[in-house]
Structure 1
Amino acid sequence: MPLARTGELITRAAQAHSAVAAFNIITLEHIEAVVTGAEAAGTPVVLQVSENAVKFRQGRLLPLARAATAAAERASVPVALHLDHVQGDDLLRQAPDAGFSSVMYDAARLPYADNLAATRAAADWAHTQGLWIEAELGEIGGKDGKPPLDAHAPGARTAPDQARAFVAETGVDALAVAIGSSHAMTTRTAALDHDLLKRLAAALPVPLVLHGSSGVPDTGLAAAVTGGIAKVNIGTALNLALTGAVRDHLAAHPEAVDARPYLRAGREAMAREVKRLIGVVEGARR
């Protein structure tokens, strides 16, 4: 089927008091695994390409985007394509022609006023292109001469009043909030601030997004969806599944030189994890 639109998937999920799982992809095996897992779960999914993934692919967006589009068009479930953690305007402007219906513009590293100005400019341009745009806001440092606090730094939190003003002034369509998760966690020990999430959900008129979900236990993820999260971003969990399966295969077959058997094992492990995590997300209701 044709590429789905991220905004439509997230809007429907939010209206149904549920959430959509969005998985970061790096290789063709990631793409195939996410689509296979989503088909097994029978639910829509979002394929995400981050700016770091583009850098890994030698700065080229189109090869991965074209592969994702081809997989989406053959899928039996709706699949959307999202450009994640974009910091450069050049990459942002490649999104529409590459098949993306949405983008996460990441200026959260900047002081609040600069974040707001940059995000507002990105949102204005994105909306002229028909793009749904997500932004990110953590509790901002910068007081007493200290640098801005990264939205995923330990202790970072999004202040509801500031978030409400930020959304109103930038016009973004969704907001990633800092409530205790962190990127690249390899242990599932993150403790989310569910009381803060409840206050953010009450304060904001747009869908909320959870980044760093790989480090959150299943019970925490389900509670986050119940509390108001409508988009759940997952990346490291797939890399853990892939790497673990490849290591196991090579340990059992030290003579192996053909990449296909161990990549198949990695792809299958990722697909199982995708299906499982979708079940966690889909099983939660607000």
Structure 2
Amino acid sequence: MPLAATGELVGRAAAARSAVLAFNVITLEHVEAVVAGAEAAGAPVVLQVSENAVKFRQGRLLPLARAAVAAAERAAVPVALHLDHVQSEDLLRQAPDAGFGSVMYDASRLPYAENLAATAAATEWAHARGLWIEAELGEVGGKDGRPPLDAHAPGARTDPAEAHAFVTGSGVDALAVAVGNTHAMTERTAALDHDLIKRLAGALDVPLVLHGSSGVPDGELTAAVSGGIAKVNVGTALNLALTGAIRGFLAARPDVVDCRAYLTAGREAMAERVRRLIEVTGTPSAAPAS
């Protein structure tokens, strides 16, 4: 089917008081696994390509983007394509022609006023080209090898009043918030600030996005969605599933050299992780409402 629109999937999830899952993909196996897991769950999904993934692919966006578009168009469930954590203006401007319908513009590293100005400019450019745009306020730690912030450090939590002013001033369509979540966690031990999530949901008229969800236990994820999170980003959990399956396969069969054998095991493990997380977060069915 044609590419879905991220904004429509997130809006539908928010209206149903649930969330749509957005998975970061790095290889073709990631793409295939996400689509397979979403089909098994019977739910829509978002494929995300981050700026770091583009750097890994030698700075070339199109090969992975074209593969993702082809997989989405052949999927049995709606699949959207999202460009994640974009800091490069050049990469931002490649998004529309590469098939992306949405982008997360990340100026959260900047002081508030600079973040607001940069995000507002990016939003104006994106909206003129039909792109749905997400931004981040508050610092979700753990990105690019940086340690997570202390819970009491400045910027470690998104302030509701500041978030309202930021969304109003920038015009973004969704906001990624810092509520105790951290990127790149390999253990599911994060404890979220659920009171803050509810206050943010009450203060804003745009959907809330949870980054760093790989380290969030099932119960915490379910509660976060009930509190107002409408888009849940997952990356590290797929890499854990992929790497674990490959290590286990090669430990049991050290004679195997055909990568298709162990990549199949890795792809299947990622697909199952996708299916399970969709189940946990209650993503609405891909079936049209009757």
Aligned equivalents of 1:29, 1:174: Cα separation in 2: 28
Change (3 A) 1:151 1:132: farther
- In the other structure, the counterpart of 1:153 is 149
Aligned length: 275
Compute the displacement of 1:153 (Å): 2.6
- 2:201 is equivalent to residue 184 of structure 1: no
Compute the displacement of 1:151 (Å): 11
- Report if aligned partners of 1:137, 1:151 keep a CA contact under 8 Å in 2: no
- Report if aligned partners of 2:148, 2:182 keep a CA contact under 8 Å in 1: yes
Compute the displacement of 1:154 (Å): 3.2
- In the other structure, the counterpart of 1:232 is 232
SS at 2:85 equivalent = strand
Unaligned stretches of 5+ residues in structure 2 = 141-145, 285-290
Aligned equivalents of 1:93, 1:68: Cα separation in 2: 18
SS at 2:125 equivalent = helix
Aligned partner of 2:189: which letter?
Answer: T
SS at 2:48 equivalent = strand
- Report if aligned partners of 2:51, 2:87 keep a CA contact under 8 Å in 1: yes
Deviations 1:120-151 (A, max 9, x none): 000000000000000000069xxxxxxxxx99
Aligned equivalents of 1:23, 1:8: Cα separation in 2: 17
Compute the displacement of 1:96 (Å): 0.3
SS at 1:93 equivalent = helix
- Report if aligned partners of 2:107, 2:115 keep a CA contact under 8 Å in 1: yes
Aligned equivalents of 2:236, 2:282: Cα separation in 1: 20
TM-score of the pair, normalised by structure 1? 0.94
- 2:241 is equivalent to residue 241 of structure 1: yes
Unaligned stretches of 5+ residues in structure 1 = 141-149
- Report if aligned partners of 1:41, 1:275 keep a CA contact under 8 Å in 2: yes
- 2:20 is equivalent to residue 20 of structure 1: yes
Deviations 1:46-68 (A, max 9, x none): 00000000000000000000000
Change (3 A) 1:91 1:152: farther
SS at 1:49 equivalent = strand
Aligned equivalents of 2:99, 2:8: Cα separation in 1: 15
Aligned equivalents of 2:139, 2:168: Cα separation in 1: 17
- In the other structure, the counterpart of 2:167 is 167
Aligned equivalents of 1:114, 1:53: Cα separation in 2: 25
Aligned partner of 1:122: which letter?
Answer: A
Aligned equivalents of 1:4, 1:139: Cα separation in 2: 29
Compute the displacement of 1:152 (Å): 5.8
Aligned equivalents of 2:40, 2:257: Cα separation in 1: 31
Change (3 A) 1:94 1:234: same
Change (3 A) 1:139 1:164: farther
SS at 1:180 equivalent = coil
- Report if aligned partners of 2:19, 2:225 keep a CA contact under 8 Å in 1: yes
Deviations 1:5-50 (A, max 9, x none): 0001111111111110000000000000000000000000000000
- Report if aligned partners of 2:109, 2:139 keep a CA contact under 8 Å in 1: no
Aligned equivalents of 1:255, 1:263: Cα separation in 2: 15
- In the other structure, the counterpart of 2:76 is 76
- 2:56 is equivalent to residue 56 of structure 1: yes
Aligned identity (percent) is 76
Aligned equivalents of 2:272, 2:171: Cα separation in 1: 37
SS at 1:192 equivalent = coil
Aligned equivalents of 1:198, 1:219: Cα separation in 2: 16
- In the other structure, the counterpart of 1:254 is 254
- In the other structure, the counterpart of 1:208 is 208
- In the other structure, the counterpart of 1:128 is 128
Aligned equivalents of 2:2, 2:110: Cα separation in 1: 37
SS at 2:94 equivalent = coil
Change (3 A) 1:103 1:139: closer
- Aligned CA RMSD, in angstroms, stands at 1.5
